[in-house]
Amino acid sequence: MENFELYNPVKIIFGPGEVSKTGEEAAKLGKKAMVVSYHEHDFFIDLLKSVESMLTAAGLGVVPFYEVTANPLMGQVDAAVRKCKDEDVDVVIAVGGGSAMDVAKITAAGVHYQGDLWEMIVSRHDEEVAEPPEKALPLLMVPTLPATSSEMNCGAVVTNERTREKSYVFAECLYPTVSIVDPSLTCSLPPYQTACGAADTISHAMETYLNGVDDTPLQDRFLEGVITTIMENVGKALEDPNNVKIRAHLQWTSVLAWNGWFAAGVGGWAPMHQLGHVLSARHDVTHGASLAIVMVAWMKHLYEYRIERYVQFADRILGMDVNGKDPDAVAQSAIDQFDSFLKGIGVPTRLSDLQISGDDIDAMVDDVVRISFGPDGKLNSRPPIDREQVKTIYNLAL
């Protein structure tokens, strides 16, 4: 296990009905709130109206910013920051999934940021060029999609529509002060969003599980718990969408999966997300779907380098009988079973499932190399992979 520092100051208020505390919690943070949510919000207009009413009743001014899309764009952030400044907003509230939370975070920091907001985003890894923000308005999150852990971490992801680059920022000032995690808000999620959120949560555990260091027995079991809890419950949520107990299991797992606890001492750097971000930026693929596609191809290409880990995955997560079996056959069978599980919940696991041809694979590889390769000319993964291997993984995903 590696040495580590761990800091996470987010207050979580969890449980069905807890959204009713939004007004009183917001009143502790400011007097005028920007509420950040989706451009297409008809499906939860009642929730937005309810949040607005609670804020007003608690004495806050309300500034709606309902312009966020999936794979949110810098232009949306720029507009939100302008509005925050014009309206003298002093607290930013997100109501929605990762996209709304990410725009809220970058907006909260953008109000204090000097210069082009894109400069805070990591746009290359071969040298330090990003200037992370140091100050942000207080943030309150009301997540409606179990997936990203954005409600309990200090990261945010955004796409630059000018350069077609999707990348991220991590900065301590981006931790929400409080997140109100109410699983009843997730009961109306459509099946595809439920499944993609599950795939994204699994991918967060898998990034660490597959790309971290050895000798991390406790973290292994935490990560295995994340993956098995999602695998055991996502099908139940699809069959019985209004079962708030099942929704609670999915959401609590997603909050914890990438809040820093389970990666502490393991390292690992989310290289699968780098390939997924490029796929989303070029083809507007839903984040969780992009990770489902990349994960399966990634595992097929790299299992041989860490075969004992894949046997452990087969044994502890899939419950396969691995004793006395050929490790290579076990690993391949485990990957096939995982692929079948993802297909079974309705997420794509091939580019062709989304009618994406391989025509621009070279351009996607160029993007990964430019944005995500380190000074050593490789992607920071286990093992570090080169340009040809990135191309191989995208080709395996066709």
Q: Which residues bind Fe ion (CB under 5 A)?
A: 200
- What is the smallest separation between the CB atom of 115 and Fe ion, expressed in angstroms? 28
CA distance 63 to 95: 13
Of the pair 168, 175, the CB lying nearest Fe ion is at 168
- What is the smallest separation between the CB atom of 319 and Fe ion, expressed in angstroms? 26
Please give the radius of gyration of the chain, using alpha carbons only, rounded to the nearest integer: 20
Phi, psi of 227 (to 5 degrees): -65, -45
Identity of the amino acid at 269: W
Of the pair 71, 76, the CB lying nearest Fe ion is at 71
Of the pair 67, 200, the CB lying nearest Fe ion is at 200
The partner residues of 200 in beta bridges, in order of sequence, read none
User: Helix and strand tally (H, E) in the chain?
Assistant: 13, 8
Q: How many CB atoms lie within 10 A of CB 214?
A: 12
Q: How many CB atoms lie within 10 A of CB 363?
A: 11
Of the pair 196, 311, the CB lying nearest Fe ion is at 196
- What is the smallest separation between the CB atom of 312 and Fe ion, expressed in angstroms? 23
Q: Please report the DSSP string for 129-159 in residue order.
A: -----S----EEEEE-SSSS-GGGSSEEEEE
CA distance 129 to 126: 9
Of the pair 22, 201, the CB lying nearest Fe ion is at 201
- What is the smallest separation between the CB atom of 287 and Fe ion, expressed in angstroms? 6
Identity of the amino acid at 356: I
- What is the smallest separation between the CB atom of 194 and Fe ion, expressed in angstroms? 15
- What is the smallest separation between the CB atom of 280 and Fe ion, expressed in angstroms? 10
Of the pair 148, 233, the CB lying nearest Fe ion is at 148
Nearest-CB residue to Fe ion? 200
Confirm if 39 and 70 have CB atoms less than 8 A apart. Answer: no
